[in-house]
Structure 1
Amino acid sequence: MFSHQDEQEWLQQEREIHATVGDGGFGPVDRLGSWTEKSPFALCQYFLLRLGQTTWLGRKLVPEGRTDPASVLTPRMLMGEFESLRFTRQQVEFYFTPRDAQTHQDVLARAAKDAEADLDFPFPRLDRDWNEALVPAHVWDGTAELADNLDPDEEHFRAAAAIALREVVQPGDTLYDPACSTGRFVSSLGTAFPECRVLASDASPKMVELARRRIPDAFVADGLTRPVPDGSVQVLVLRFLNAEVLSAEAAVEGFRSLVRLIAPGGHALVFGHTPVLPAVRHLAGETGLEVRSSVAAVPGRPDEVFQFYLLHRPAVAA
């Protein structure tokens, strides 16, 4: 587990990197360069974007006013075309070729429109001993303050979900969030699709208490235990298979288990405040799901993107 001192040291490093990168990028344009990361705590901020035949390397930045990386990726975070990396216990050396700012903008805008594009965060959150770092369970027990902090950072997720599901949900469909937190997200789906049934649960009784302000029937349950029948859900919301919330192994097993809830012809949304841990495209194929898309753009800002998987279970098995 990471300590308060670890976190403060990391945040200071992030402030310095944010100031250093500025608008000049991570190195000279069109020249092979490298970037050294010595903090295991920061490795989960690195991402790979596969677009066409090219893989791009990027790193989340933490601007003033934030104490953690946002889920939205901007052109300034794109480092360049990925070449390779070298990994030791002391550091990770990334090799890449930066391109000009306009190219980086175009890449992110294209990724949001390309169903085959994929965003991958290869590293989980690590502590100074290179072990997976998870937020203690009691943090998720829920307070009004925590709810106020979580909800604003989901605005782009709520907008993307309404757009992605517009053509796929039908009256009477069940929309289920097994880790509903404050209930804000899944209740927004109920508002967008009032003829659908909204189902919500959470392992935290305090969070369920908050959620019941929006969803009176919200109930307490460990989502990983599949508290509703298999094949009974038309839209499954998975927004907790993420770094800091679960270990990588638990997230993979959780995915395999939970997608059994999806009815034939149904869909799943996979996203979160922190990076999605499972290799979703691989697991989707393993579990009989199709990946309809994996990258979404912030409405009105086409070159600002985030992980947002829309998965589909065919009505008739192939």
Structure 2
Amino acid sequence: MARIVTVAAAQLGPIQKAESRESVVARMITLMEEAKAKGATFIVYPELALTTFFPRWYEEDRTKMDHWFESSMPNAATQPLFDKARALGMAMSFGYAELTPDGHHFNTSILVDKAGTIVGKYRKTHLPGHVEFDTGRTHQHLEKRYFEPGDTGFPVWRFAGGLIGMAICNDRRWPETYRVMGLQGVEMVVLGFNTPSVNSQRAGEGMEDRLFHHRLSCQAGAYQNATWVVAVAKAGTEDGNHLMGGTLIVDPNGKIVGELPHEDDGVLVHACDLDDTVFGKETIFDFKRHRRTEHYGLITERVGVGEPLGR
């Protein structure tokens, strides 16, 4: 019998610096209602869904950026989203900037069940960008200044009738992200992203190349681990800074089954059969039969490039 998870990839258009969390949550609720009307039972929102992409701005005193972070979840601004999800019987995932009670700063994503209970939390592992203001860049990307690398690893949860994992933005570019979840039997990876449409260090790498690398990363991760991948953008021009779209859903064979063609608020709904992951997991990517871990030591022994092993 098929195990169908009807997922809604809920793209958000731009969030301006002056826009309140309450306004953004109202937009998210509208998308949730649209997703429900289209038959979805699980809705996925982007990275940093509640605010503009604030790491584009440099602030000497980092504590002055704490107002972009959430010290509790849910909170007064987001409670209506949780209430609506509970009322509609909708599971959800979304990203936000997390400030922990002991003062740590993470780029975080959560899984929330149909009862409105947070059942999973992931903190972004692969932080891109830089720490100090860089005059050589066309725009700043200061995630390393405002966030700490995540401390959760890449767990997989029994959720929505399957095995679900989370990743955030730059994580999608690293094969280790998918493989660690693949070794837990993951059947769907959900991830949000906020990706500038131009590489700040290579002006010739524009939208076409950025979307190519985005699709390539998601499709390879899906195929090589026989899993669904649901990738959701925050897109459009935020205070003069453009983020690309590319919200898409990839099947376990690495094929894109749907992609939003715009940069506005919108939902992409697809009925994902988790049993479609079985064939790949039992044949070409049957890890137990085919992996040769005795040859993979460098993956964890080295962080950077070292001496070649051959002559």
Could you state the TM-score of these two structures normalised by the residue count of structure 1?
Answer: 0.31
Could you state the TM-score of these two structures normalised by the residue count of structure 2?
Answer: 0.31
